[in-house]
Structure 1
């Protein structure tokens, strides 16, 4: 077996350039993951609670390093908040409200 010659050409190599960081871009998914749990708690709507949980988990898993630095609320906190909102929508099934004596 003959050794193979390196066929790469040094004049064709393009060095890596890191993409420019964009400023404060409005992130719709983080806005949804922070407002939907509140809507689910206020309206006691289970579907909004499930949507809030799914959106916040997707937002948490898709977080970039730049978003982690700029975010006011981390992804795991919004996922925990949406989970607690979902728990609060199902809470009347396990702890029913007191009956009125009227």
Structure 2
């Protein structure tokens, strides 16, 4: 049988949380939505959304607040705004005067040839 430990030799456990690492994913999830909005690139906006969700899910629970750091939910909102910005033409289509005039000429041509 193993000898029993003496009570005065037992050291209580104290949890020391690990230091936060600098994560490149956080930098990308902050800057990619802005690039997607500037370029109106749908693929970049979806990538920004998925990266921000991943950044949110990988965020440690007991993380200390840093100065100037965005909350992860704000990154998700920013990425959603980027997706909506890229698809705004579907919701509010623009009318180009040149295209409108070309459509009017085409309609007049079709009407005149049909009659």
What range is the shorter-chain TM-score in?
Answer: 0.7 to 0.9
Distance 1:13 1:58 in 2: 41
- Of structures 1 and 2, the one scoring higher in RCO (CA 8 A, sep 6+) is 1
Residue-by-residue CA offset, 1:52-96 (whole Å, 9 max, x unaligned)? 000001111211232x51162100001000001001101111211
- Alignment counterpart, residue 79 of structure 2, candidates 82, 86, 99: 82
Cα 1:29–1:13 shift into 2, 3 Å: farther
Count of matched residue pairs: 93
RMSD (CA atoms)? 2.7
Which of 1 and 2 has greater Rg? 2
Residue 18 (1) aligns with residue 39 (2):
no
1:19-98 equivalent positions in 2, closer than 5 A: 19-21=17-19, 25-64=21-60, 65-66=62-63, 69-70=65-66, 72-98=69-95
Q: Which runs of 5+ in 2 are unaligned?
A: 102-115
The TM-score, its normalising length taken from structure 2, stands at 0.66
